[in-house]
A = this chain, B = another copy of it.
Amino acid sequence: MQDLTIAVVGATGAVGRKVIELLEERNFPMKELRALASFRSEGVKIPFIGGELTVHEAKPEGFTGADLVFFAAGGATSKELAPEAVKRGAVVVDKSSAWRMTPNVPLVIPEINAVDILEHEGIISSPNCSTIVLLMALAPLHRANPIKRVIVDTYQSASGAGCKAIAELFQQTRDTLEQKEPEHSAFPHTLAFNVLPHVEDFAGDGYTTEEIKMQDETRKIMHLPNLPVSATCVRVPVPVSHSEAVHIELTHPITPQEAREILAKAPGVIVQDDVAHNVYPLAQDATGKDEIFVGRIRRDLALENGLSLWTVGDNLRKGAALNAIQIAEELVARDCLKPRRKSGAAHS
């Protein structure tokens, strides 16, 4: 495989920066890396392999000659520009929600459904961060004992709302400690010393788009179109890493020890479950790590053949940038950087 020409759209954002960092860290085969963002970031410098990259405005022409384009900007940008990249012969790995539920766009967590990549027509979507943290724990259990019902409540970090949101959390925290009135713009209310049962936007029926994604994306990735999934997504005053309390109903009885053994063997998952020594996954410990951590594994007291567990992952790494890079690595490994089917019309 020859080295690739790569572009990153949204290069100055929390996830885009992490994509660039991981491309370097994982020695991704590149001959050129283009850092693209909105016109406001034109000229910004980003450190890269001892030197730096200059950010340019993301425009259709910028994709000419690119083999692979990572989109780590908002959904509107992906909606507009991803088809332009595909038209110019690139394969797109999209971190936004723009294409995730489009039928001919694979939605992939490589440890779970890498094979879906083979069906791509130019765009492959990477799931929502909360969905990834959930499914890394659920999919291995499901393979052993089909899951029939999922209830999940999240404890999501500020960084899910971007770089500015982390800064806002710290500023609000300082202001509160100094008895000043904290201000908010990245969040709908003050997040410091508070919890907000509101991540993203409210859609119909009282659910947020984040909660709806957790249901819809879980069903698509696991190929279980009717799986009942109920989520409450909550923002907590943590800078990085999402935690989730999960309750699942399985088809057959399972002991916590059996579940631990299954998860211990699952790629990308680390079991941290020794409550006698206060060992369980923690947001602070998971930050900067590639794996998803699972603990507090026990019989659920309200569901038939039920399990309760606690899962934590770095939402900027496996929850976002790392998963996108892993998708790209699969594209390279499976030699399917060019779309398998005719592309263009479906995405334009």
Q: Which residues of A approach B to under 8 Å, CB–CB?
A: 149-151, 153, 155, 170, 173-174, 177, 188-190, 193-198, 202, 205-207, 215, 228-232, 234, 236-239, 243, 245, 247, 256, 275-276, 278, 280-284, 295-303, 306, 308, 310
Contacts of A195 in B (CB 8 A): 155, 236, 238, 243, 282-283
Q: A196 — which chain B residues lie within 8 A by C-beta?
A: 282
Q: How far is the CA of A238 from the CA of B194 in the complex (A)?
A: 5
Task: Please pick, from B151, B282, B297, B299, the residue contacting A151 in the complex, using a CB distance under 8 A.
Answer: B151
Give the distance to chain B from A263, nearest Cβ to Cβ, in Å.
Answer: 14
12 residue pairs A–B, Cβ–Cβ below 8 Å: A155-B155, A173-B173, A174-B177, A177-B177, A188-B278, A196-B282, A197-B243, A198-B278, A198-B280, A230-B308, A232-B247, A237-B237
Q: How far is the CB of A284 from chain B (nearest CB, A)?
A: 5
Which of B207, B239, B282, B310 is within 8 Å of A298, CB to CB? B207
Contact of A150 among B177, B234, B297, B302 (CB under 8 A): B302
Task: Say yes or no: B188 contacts A177, CB within 8 Å.
Answer: no
**Which of A170, A276, A280 lies at the interface centre, i.e. has the most chain B CB atoms within 10 A of its CB?**
A280
Q: With a CB–CB cut-off of 8 A, which chain B residues contact A155? A: 155, 195, 234, 236
Residues in B whose Cβ lies below 8 Å from that of A282: 189, 194-196
A303 contacts across to B, CB distance below 8 A: 149, 151, 228, 230
Query: Which residues of chain B are near A207, meaning CB under 8 Å?
Result: 298, 301
Name the B residues within 8 Å of A198 (CB-CB): 275, 278, 280
Bound state CA distance, A301 and B226, in angstroms?
11
Q: Contacts A206-B256, A245-B234, A284-B190; is A302 near B229 (CB within 8 Å)?
A: yes
Flag if B310 contacts A206 (CB, 8 Å): no
Shortest Cβ distance from A202 into B: residue: B275
Judging by beta carbons under 8 Å apart, are B197 and A151 in contact?
A: no
Contact yes or no, A153 B206, CB < 8 A: no
Please indicate the chain B residues that have their CB under 8 angstroms from the CB of A188 in the complex.
278
A161 nearest CB across to chain B (Å):
14
Residues of B within 8 A of A297 (CB): 206
Contacts of A190 in B (CB 8 A): 284
Bound-state CA distance A283–B239 (Å) is: 19
Residue of B nearest to A303 (CB): B230
Contact between chains at A284 and B206 (CB < 8 Å): no
Q: Is the CB of A232 within 8 A of B310?
A: yes
Known: A284-B190, A296-B197. A232 touches B245 (CB 8 A): yes
